[in-house]
Amino acid sequence: MSHHRNGIDTGHQMESWFGELSKPWKKARFKHLCKLITDGSHHSPPSQEEGKPYITVRDLKNGGIDFNAAAKISDEDFKKLIQSGCAPQKGDVLFSKDGSIGKVALVESSNFVVLSSLAILRPKASLKGTFLKYLVESSPIAGQIESFYAGAALKRITLDQIVEIWGLQPNEEEQTSIVSFLDRETARIDALIEKKQRLIELLQEKRQAIITRAVTKGLDPNVSMKDSGVEWLGEVPEHWEVKKIKFTAIFSGGGTPDKENLDYWDGQIPWVSPKDMKKEQIEDSEDHITTLGLAESATSLIEPGAVLMVVRSGILRHSIPIAINITQVALNQDMKAIRFLSGKVLPKFFLRWIQGQVKQLLFLWRKQGATVESIEQEYFLNTKIALPSPFEQQEVVTHLDRELERIDGIISKSQSSIDLLQERRSALITAAVTGQIDVRGEVA
């Protein structure tokens, strides 16, 4: 079995995960701590408006299950899945084993089924499900799990591997004390995290509103307005010019050199694809092509200062990744470059204009009937944009750079606080379930 090759095959190795234990707790693999380790359905039944809940990894949140967001299936499909053993019982622990590995939830009510990406751990009578949930969240368990998929392109752990994980079992009284302590302390930390996450959401909403107002109304609150002639855009400053994008810009695409021809790859030319579009400035990319790959494929060199946009990707369900290249790059076929004619549109203004109206533009631009979300070039080119003079565009850009830097700084600090709180939460759980801190005297 694969677990022999992953180095957690002996009791000696078990000590390397938990260190020297100060308490005489039972040490055992999960196959001895749990009486059931199975997974959910390998077949996804069709969802419908009403029915019984069908739980997947995305429904596991904050150690519990979000039934409100869960898909629903028919009573007939539900009965079939119950018969095939996909229904957890109260006290079980759900554990994600594909993709987002390590997400965990305690089952507090039955009458639902799960997908195969979730493992169902049913603790033995002497092991509390509440304790097992915290144990699975601890660093020694996470370390063992990571050792199974180390180096693999896709994070995945099998049931054969889960049963070989080492765990600890205190006596029932100590389990009760540990769970009581962790329930209280993690609830405090989770409440702080939730407050900071809400602050970030409010700041992001404010950020969006600031961009939208600046790129559609300008900076002068007293300026005379006019009807733009575009229903969703409404009124714009009277002196702004309304025109279709196709009269201001030229559009170019990309392509992929033959992956089988090694002479085309690992060269000096950045080859930008959607995975590189995580920031507003592009100076490099994960993949690079050679001059031969450039010459013998559909891609071409894009000079610095173009607006790069993702036009085909699942991410277009909710956002439009956009950036400006500051070095020469080539693009893959899921990207487009936009260059503006005669200096009438500043690239950074156009970037902010898209950021300010993402939801509306996605509605306008989305290609109908496409298997993967994509932007229809014709819809894009025929969209009207309201433009101030280049001088005023620069004023808007400068104003937004200053405002967004301030907001992004607060968001970044809040995110760092969340990261620290999550680290503290994890360290607290690990210390409690491995006996590094004494929580005796806690009451259930």
User: What is the DSSP code string of 150-175?
Assistant: TT-SS-B--HHHHTT-EEEE--HHHH
Number of domains the chain is built from: 3
Contact 283, 277 (CB under 8 A): no
Q: With respect to residue 307, please indicate whether it lies within any of the assigned structural domains.
A: yes
Q: Is the same domain home to 42 and 99? A: yes
* DSSP code string of 120-134: EEEE-TTS-HHHHHH
Residue 442 has what pLDDT?
52
| 334 or 3, greater pLDDT | 334
Q: Is the same domain home to 371 and 402? A: no
Could you tell me the pLDDT band of residue 113, with boundaries at 50, 70 and 90? confident
Q: Is the same domain home to 360 and 411? A: no
Cα–Cα nearest to 71, from 101, 92, 40: 40
Contact 310, 278 (CB under 8 A): no
- Answer yes or no: is pLDDT of 154 > 80: no
Q: Is the same domain home to 157 and 186? A: no
- Answer yes or no: is pLDDT of 14 > 70: no
Q: Is the same domain home to 13 and 125? A: yes
pTM of the model: 0.80
Q: With respect to residue 115, please indicate whether it lies within any of the assigned structural domains.
A: yes
Q: With respect to residue 308, please indicate whether it lies within any of the assigned structural domains.
A: yes
**Poorest-confidence range of 74-83, 159-168, 215-224, 387-396?**
74-83
- Answer yes or no: is pLDDT of 41 > 70: yes
Q: What does the pLDDT average to over 42-63?
A: 84
How far apart, in whole angstroms, are the C-alpha atoms of residue 105 and residue 133?
Answer: 7
- Average pLDDT of the chain? 89
Q: Which distant-in-sequence residues (6+ apart) come within 8 Å of 96 by Cβ?
A: 57, 60, 102, 103, 104, 117, 118, 119
Q: What does the pLDDT average to over 318-340?
A: 96
Indicate the Cα dihedral angle 140, 440, 28, 127, nearest 10°: -110
Q: Is the same domain home to 151 and 75? A: yes
Residue 269 has what pLDDT?
96
Q: Is the same domain home to 245 and 381? A: yes
Cα–Cα nearest to 366, from 374, 358, 378: 374
Q: Tally Cβ neighbours within 10 Å of residue 96.
A: 21
- Type of residue numbered 158: T
- What is the domain range of residue 434? 171-217+392-444
pLDDT digits (tens, 9 = 90+) for 276-293: 999 999 999 999 999 999
Q: Is the same domain home to 50 and 82? A: yes
Residue 8 has what pLDDT?
42
How far apart, in whole angstroms, are the C-alpha atoms of residue 288 and residue 269?
Answer: 5
Could you tell me the pLDDT band of residue 424, with boundaries at 50, 70 and 90? very high
Contact 128, 179 (CB under 8 A): yes
Q: Tally Cβ neighbours within 10 Å of residue 364.
A: 15
Give me the percent of the chain exceeding a pLDDT of 70. 93
Q: Distances in Å between the alpha carbon of 315 and those of 73, 282, 312, 357?
A: 26, 18, 8, 16
Supply the DSSP symbol for 312: B
Q: Is the same domain home to 129 and 209? A: no
Residue 374: both structure tokens together: 């994509």
Q: Which of 136, 169, 202 is the last residue of a domain?
A: 169
Q: Which of 353, 372, 387 is the last residue of a domain?
A: 387
Q: Is the same domain home to 306 and 206? A: no
